[in-house]
């Protein structure tokens, strides 16, 4: 991964792949052109690398010239194309092939066709190394296309992000989600995850998702999800994985622009941990750490019974349900310590003491990530 200005980019197309594609284009065009001596016209700035590599691979005599247009501002393609340097030689009767680094909206092509409208060239063809079919809005024919790519911003091999990245020999694609911090707050029921998450979300500007809270919200609003979850929660059992995973994914999607998340009460099973990894992957991100609050069982029971006096939670009111929740934790959830330990992402923190002291302990771990 690389960082240019404020944005992160991940490797996308290797130098070798680019080289092979340019080789293919050179052969294909040489065959079509036959005995003509073509004039290749590069569109500056972006095309300087493509043109340089292309003409070195072109197996027959050819001429090369450039025009200079300006189109991009930041990561958005602008409608407004400026002609900075136009044609500097007479191309009457010549076979002209435009060499573009990338064609996305096609706005540059409008300007190219305007430039050639009054030139009496023999033929005008367009060749481009990269092409974004989803972004292309014009009808101009593209005669030679190197690689079709998705409509995502790329840099490298002549292409820049606000001036940087042109010198990279390979192509990088913008990361969908810019550098998130994602934490799993872990521990048995009553360990203090919710209390601590309230402090940490403010301190680190993260979105707190408590699956238990989302289920309770759904129960209160008598949704279908709430009704389904209630039957399990009332017994202190886990809600089935697929239901929980779908709900969690939806909660994350609601906060697509977040700096990162504190997951509280999720994942609770191996299947949930796997699906969380997939979700993070799809956002070009990852779980940075599982931070576990470690508290003895008898203290947990005491805490939950005392919380039950005011929380109104049915599953806090009855000691046997509380003990069942703790048992579920040891049977199904505690193994996730191994899952994250294997990736060096597990951090245990003593969960007994004042709320402030525990916040300091958690912050120390997060600050060192």
Catalytic residue list = 193, 268, 307, 313, 325
Q: DSSP of 241-259, one letter per residue?
A: HHHHHHHHHHHHHHTTT-S
Closest separation in Å from C-beta 256 to ligand AMP: 21
Is 41 in contact with 127 (CB distance < 8 Å)? no
Token pair of 46 as six digits: 């972006």
Of 155, 197, 233, 292, the one binding ligand AMP by CB under 6 A: 233
Start-to-end CA span in the chain (Å): 18
Residues 307-336 that bind ligand AMP (CB under 6 A): 315, 325
Name the strand (E) or helix (H) holding 16. Answer: helix 15-33
Residues 147-206 that bind ligand AMP (CB under 6 A): 189
- Cis status, amide bond into 45, omega within 30 of 0: yes
Closer by beta carbon to ligand AMP, 158 or else 351:
351
Pairing relation of β-strands 95-103 and 39-44?
A: parallel
Of 146, 187, 192, 265, the one binding ligand AMP by CB under 6 A: 265
Closest separation in Å from C-beta 195 to ligand AMP: 12
Select the span of 159-167, 230-238, 291-299, 339-347 touching ligand AMP (CB under 6 A).
230-238
Closer by beta carbon to ligand AMP, 95 or else 244:
244
Verify binding: residue 131, ligand AMP, rule CB under 6 A.
no
Verify binding: residue 272, ligand AMP, rule CB under 6 A.
yes
Verify binding: residue 232, ligand AMP, rule CB under 6 A.
yes
Q: DSSP of 191-216, one letter per residue?
A: SSHHHHHHHHHHHHT-EEEEHHHHHH
Nearest to 101 by CA among 65, 127, 71, 133: 127
* Contacting residues toward ligand AMP, per CB under 6 A: 189, 211-212, 215, 232-233, 236-239, 244, 265-266, 268, 272, 315, 325
């Amino acid at each position: 991964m690389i960082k240019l200005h404020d944005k992160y980019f991940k490797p996308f197309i290797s130098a070798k792949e680019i080289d092979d594609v340019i080789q293919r284009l050179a052969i294909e065009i040489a065959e079509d052109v036959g005995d003509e001596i073509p004039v290749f016209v590069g569109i500056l700035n972006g095309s300087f690398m493509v043109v340089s590599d292309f003409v070195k691979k072109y197996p027959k005599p050819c001429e090369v010239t450039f025009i200079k247009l300006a189109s991009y501002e930041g990561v958005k393609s602008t409608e407004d194309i400026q002609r900075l340097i136009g044609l500097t030689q007479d191309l009457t009767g010549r076979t002209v092939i435009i060499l573009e680094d990338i064609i996305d909206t096609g706005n540059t092509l409008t300007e190219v066709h305007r430039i050639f409208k009054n030139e009496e060239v023999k033929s005008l063809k367009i060749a481009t190394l990269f092409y974004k079919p989803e972004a292309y809005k014009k009808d101009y024919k593209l005669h030679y296309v190197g690689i079709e790519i998705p409509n995502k911003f790329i840099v490298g091999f002549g292409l820049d992000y606000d001036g940087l990245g042109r010198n990279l020999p390979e192509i990088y694609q913008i990361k969908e989600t810019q550098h998130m911090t994602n934490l799993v707050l872990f521990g048995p029921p009553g360990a203090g995850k919710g209390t601590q998450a309230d402090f940490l979300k403010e301190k680190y500007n993260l979105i707190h998702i408590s699956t238990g809270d989302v289920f309770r919200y759904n129960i209160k609003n008598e949704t279908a999800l709430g009704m389904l979850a209630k039957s399990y929660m009332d017994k202190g059992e886990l809600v089935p994985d697929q239901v929980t995973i779908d709900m969690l994914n939806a909660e994350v999607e609601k906060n697509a622009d977040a700096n990162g998340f504190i997951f509280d009460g999720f994942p609770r099973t191996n299947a949930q941990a796997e699906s969380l990894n997939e979700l993070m992957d799809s956002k070009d991100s990852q779980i940075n750490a599982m931070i576990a609050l470690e508290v003895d069982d008898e203290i947990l029971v005491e805490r939950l019974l005392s919380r039950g006096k005011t929380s109104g939670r049915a599953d806090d009111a009855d000691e046997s349900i509380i003990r069942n929740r703790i048992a579920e934790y040891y049977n199904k959830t505690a193994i996730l310590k191994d899952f994250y330990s294997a990736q060096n992402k597990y951090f245990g923190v003593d969960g007994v003491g004042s709320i402030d002291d525990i916040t300091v302990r958690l912050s120390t771990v997060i600050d060192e990530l």
